[in-house]
Structure 1
């Protein structure tokens, strides 16, 4: 490396600009979040047999997966406060360590209640990691570079599900506790975070702004959209297996079809920067809602395996656009001193949606059946997209009228 190159690297370090190792570390941390609750899914049947003599074992074993999403939603606001008060890097490192410890604890714990407690701690760690990652990316980048990296973050988070869930299923054939060792990867990421990740100087110091001004109507609307979209999208992993099983489809093909929605989500992350360069934010919101609605109508109304697979791909593409889009919108709306707290609301909305999805959808399924529930959920999203499109057109009309109004 020449003297000029070394000087450029040193100046970038002083300014807090991320090098390749720092960027890779943040992307690696992102892969640990979405897949965290689901890693235990292949082990649930064996877990239920092991703890069958415990009162309420069937429900408690299922809670081992869902309680993680619930504690993410509950603890995320505290993580946001910590990110703004102490800095992104300390929160990221401490939560990665907690992730590794609480996740791998499942391999050793023999008491079901202690196992549930470790899963709750894992949720706290996930909420902190996601909040720190989003705030760090927003601090590091601006403009098109921010949109590009947020899209890349979505790609890595989505692909983690495609890669780690089949691996967890393979490890579960060795023993139901073995998949818990996958959580140990966070310890390696934590080491790189200590060595490579640096906060921007202006966010490393405690900064307490008036948070009430940060939570505007637009910000709260983004939270609501994230919650509703996640409730609908999470019908894929929680309800599609039953929809396919009714047609005699085996578990291997079920897993492949459900993974298709996650793969499509990663493709959406790849394409998001180009979409953002061509469309206004309000129009992107309409596209995201419309794609999810169209996908779910396909999955429910067509009724064939091909229709279900195509529907999940279309819906997954919509979510792949939606997550980086909503994150980017929040980054544009949030004051720098409040970014951690503002992003924590998005994290809470996404994981609360995961937890609520089976509870909200179940009455509809009991009344209409799984297939019709997908159809009506899709129709509801398409109606929402039409309303959003009409609101966008009216806003554009008023804006143009104001510009051309004589003064």
Structure 2
């Protein structure tokens, strides 16, 4: 494969990740939408931003069945078409009910190719290239979200209806992906036999990773949600200064994800345990901080480590999944992440009530202690994995 074609193929595979987290980009238009839907509560209007997450969780499972019927590429293409069509419905709709329904359909479209954004990389690449692309995929998610939020903010000067034009990006990505990505093994099977003859299933390793991801995402969301309270309630800074910290975490996360491939070459199976150490250190620094600078420093350590762990988790999809089950494996892991994100507010509320800490300092220290315990387990698993690799090489 020549260099130009290879680069375009990689971009085409990564391009679908640009819209994966697009559900929340219309949050900038919610205040104006509330003025239009005067008969609706604020929470009902805000629900339009998070509503797609419910159907995403359902359709990440259905996507595995879809790939067996029509193949990977057509499943992604169908998802992009649904995202494009359902996404722009609010541009023309004035009824809350119609917009509500369109957001549910949008989630269905995103769910169809959510797991395939991960597993397609595993189908087409291996080794260093796969590891590098897994990191870039995470970066593409964040870059896509940032770009669409910027565009939505610009379109908001026209009207809140106009902000929903951002979903037209799906129609731009569709031909790039469909003509830039070759058929995968599943696509060939569907073409030759009418359907894939190997049914997908999961194993105990996949369930373990999904549970791990569930708690990791819950902790991540807890930190993001409570960090502004730690900054403002302790008098470390204003809400705007807290926003600087969170945005800096996102930027550093993108940079870290871009260099995941190079980091993977050096650390290999130790990325997760070392990343967990950094997470624990970052959370403890924030929990014990006595000022803005110290809080900022802890947040940056946390912000660098989290995307590296997430990228490594998805990089393991093809190695821990059962034969021909990469898509289902990625789906189960994504369900773990979505459940963690959806249940995080309840977990935070329960933990705060348990330790009697409404601000978050003591909760951060407790989360840091939990991460240290998990880190010890991660190092044990990494060492066992290393020994297993050495045995395999010797034999």
Q: CA RMSD in A?
A: 2.9
Q: Distance in 1 between matches of 2:31 and 2:340?
A: 24
Residues of 2 paired with 1:112 and 1:351: CA distance? 25
- Does structure 1 retain, via aligned residues, the 8 Å contact 2:286–2:298? yes
Residues 226, 346 of structure 1: 8 Å contact kept: yes
> How far apart are the structure 2 equivalents of 1:45 and 1:115?
16
1:83 paired residue among 59, 67, 89: 67
> Shift in Å at residue 360 of structure 1?
1.9
Q: Which residue of 2 aligns with 1:239?
A: 226
Partner of 1:179: 163
Does structure 2 retain, via aligned residues, the 8 Å contact 1:33–1:126? yes
Q: Deviations over 1:75-123 (max 9, x none)?
A: 2111122234422110111111111122222333222233222222222
- Structure 1 window deviating more from structure 2 (247-256 vs 22-31): it is 247-256
Residue 359 of structure 2: aligned partner: 370
Choose from 287, 299, 311 the match for 2:286. 299
1:316 is matched with which residue? 303
In 2, the alpha carbon distance for the partners of 1:121 and 1:241 equals 33
**Any conservation in 2 of the 1:72–1:347 contact (CA below 8 Å)?**
no
Indicate yes or no: 2:247 matched with 1:273: no
Q: What do the CA deviations read for 1:369-405 (whole angstroms, capped 9, x no partner)? A: 232233322322222112332454577679989999x
* TM-score of the superposed pair, with normalisation by structure 2: 0.86
Cα distance between partner residues in 2 of 1:139 and 1:22: 13
CA contact (8 A) 1:236 1:258 kept: no
180 and 365 in structure 1: CA distance in 2 versus 1, 3 angstrom threshold: farther
Q: Structure 1 length normalisation: TM-score?
A: 0.84
CA distance in 1, matches of 2:232, 2:92: 34
Q: Which of 18, 24, 37 does residue 31 from structure 1 map onto?
A: 18
Between Structure 1 and Structure 2, how many residues are aligned?
A: 385
Which residue number in structure 2 is paired with residue 59 of structure 1? 43
1:208 and 1:337 in contact (8 A); partners too:
no
Q: 1:102 aligns to what?
A: 86
Counterparts of 1:136 and 1:183, CA distance in 2: 22
In structure 2, distance between residues paired with 1:294 and 1:106: 44
CA distance in structure 1 between the partners assigned to 2:242 and 2:86 by the alignment:
30
Partner of residue 259, structure 1: 247
**2:118 is aligned with 1:134:** yes
- Residues 1:112 and 1:126: Cα distance change in structure 2 (over 3 Å): same
Verify the 8 A CA contact 1:84 1:207 in the aligned structure 2.
Answer: yes
Partner of 1:220: 207
The SS at the match of 1:53 is coil
CA distance in 1: counterparts of 2:230 and 2:28, whole angstroms: 19
Regions of 4+ moved over 6 Å: 394-404
The answer to whether the Cα contact below 8 Å between 1:147 and 1:276 also exists between their aligned partners in 2 is: yes
| Among candidates 141, 147, 156, match of residue 163 of structure 1 | 147
Counterparts in 2 of 1:300 and 1:182: CA distance versus 1, 3 Å? farther
CA distance in structure 2 between the aligned counterparts of 1:401 and 1:331, rounded to whole angstroms: 21
Q: Does 1:380 align with 2:370?
A: yes
Q: Identify which of 104, 123, 137 aligns with 2:107.
A: 123
Structure 2 unmatched runs, 5+: none
